[in-house]
Amino acid sequence: MDIVSTQQQKKIHPHKFTLWVAIGSIVMMFAGLTSAYIVKSSQAAWREIKMPTTFWYSTAVILLSSLTVQWAVRSFKEREMKRYRLLIGFTVVLGSLFVILQWIGFNQLWDSGVQFKGSSGAGQFLYVIAGLHALHVIGGVIALLVMFMKAFFGKNKNYSSIPVEVASTYWHFVDILWIYLLVFFIWIG
């Protein structure tokens, strides 16, 4: 009996496995896009892009949101539901603030002449890559919002931490992905 329960504990939950497969796919997509950006940037007509300082503020916000979501997971596992609700709520607010700051930053880029046109292709790549990241972040904010709503209005009291862990892992992933993209665009720019 102990052998069976030990083997069951070592298996990865299907939701976590699915998440890791999805993360692997997303990593491959962004690796392909950033590789294409590098190849395209070697062309003569390439225009260098200077990133607005607003992106640094959004980076600080998403890093802080990673802390709050991790604290929320810990609170959930400790059955500190009041603290969990507060922290998951903060994470939703910070995730939404990140999206707003990103919108402001890309509007600043647009106003500075980096638009979805031009012979170099720099603007097109930037907006496609960042737009795909934005879709993933918005999906993460929606997942966090669902977790928040379940914490307050869930009819059944399911204390499985799997959904919270999956949402948290995904949120950490979009955080790391943004940092990679920011460093990439500053370095390759």
Burial of residue 101, with CB atoms counted within 10 A of its CB: 0-12 exposed, 13-18 middle, 19 or more buried: buried
pLDDT at 127: 86
Which residue type, as a one-letter code, is found at position 111? Answer: D
Domains located in the chain, CATH noted = 16-38+51-188 (1.20.120.80)
User: The tokens of 21 are what?
Assistant: 């497969």
pTM metric for this prediction: 0.85
Burial of residue 145, with CB atoms counted within 10 A of its CB: 0-12 exposed, 13-18 middle, 19 or more buried: middle
Residue 115 phi/psi, 5-degree rounding, is -125, 175
Burial of residue 28, with CB atoms counted within 10 A of its CB: 0-12 exposed, 13-18 middle, 19 or more buried: exposed
Q: Which residues does the chain have with pLDDT short of 70?
A: 1-9, 118-120, 155-158, 189
pLDDT at 12: 85
pLDDT at 165: 93
User: Where are any strands of DSSP class E within the chain?
Assistant: none
pLDDT at 6: 58
